[in-house]
A = this chain, B = another copy of it.
Amino acid sequence: MSEKFIIGIDLGGTNLKIALLDSKFRIKYKESLSTRKFSDKAELIGAIVSAVNRIMNDYAISKKEIAGVGLGLPGPVDHDKGIVHFFPNIPGWKEVRLKDILERKLNLKVSIDNDAKLMALAEYRQGRARDFKNVLCITLGTGVGGSIIINGKLYRGANNAAGEIGHLPINETGPDCNCGGSACLEAYIGNDRIRDLGRRLFRRDISPEELSDLAKSGNAKALKIWDEVGAHLGLALAGMVNVLNLDAIIIGGGIANAGKFLFDKVNKVIRARAMTVQAKQVKVFKAELGNEAGMIGAGISFMESCA
Contacts and interface: CB of A to CB of B under 8 A. Distances in A.
Interface centre among A151, A158, A163 (most CB of B within 10 A): A158
Interface in A130-176: 133-134, 146, 148, 150-151, 153, 155-165, 167-172
Total copies of this chain within the assembly: 2
Given A164-B278, A240-B243, A134 B150 contact: no
Chain A, interface size category, equals 35 or more
Contacts of A245: 156-164
Contacts of A159: 245, 277-278, 281
A171 B172 contact: yes
B168 A243 contact: yes
Contact of A134 (B158, B170, B277): B158
A278 to B, nearest CB: 5
A182 interface: yes
Contacts of A246: 157-158
Interface stretch (A23-31, A206-214, A268-276): A268-276
A201 interface: no
A167 B240 contact: no
Interface string A12-28: 00000000000000000
A242 interface: yes
A198 interface: no
Interface string A222-234: 0000000001100
29 contacts: A85-B277, A133-B158, A134-B158, A151-B155, A156-B245, A158-B246, A158-B281, A159-B245, A160-B245, A161-B245, A161-B281, A162-B243, A162-B245, A163-B243, A163-B245, A164-B242, A164-B278, A165-B242, A167-B242, A167-B243, A168-B239, A168-B242, A168-B243, A169-B238, A171-B172, A180-B276, A181-B238, A239-B239, A240-B243
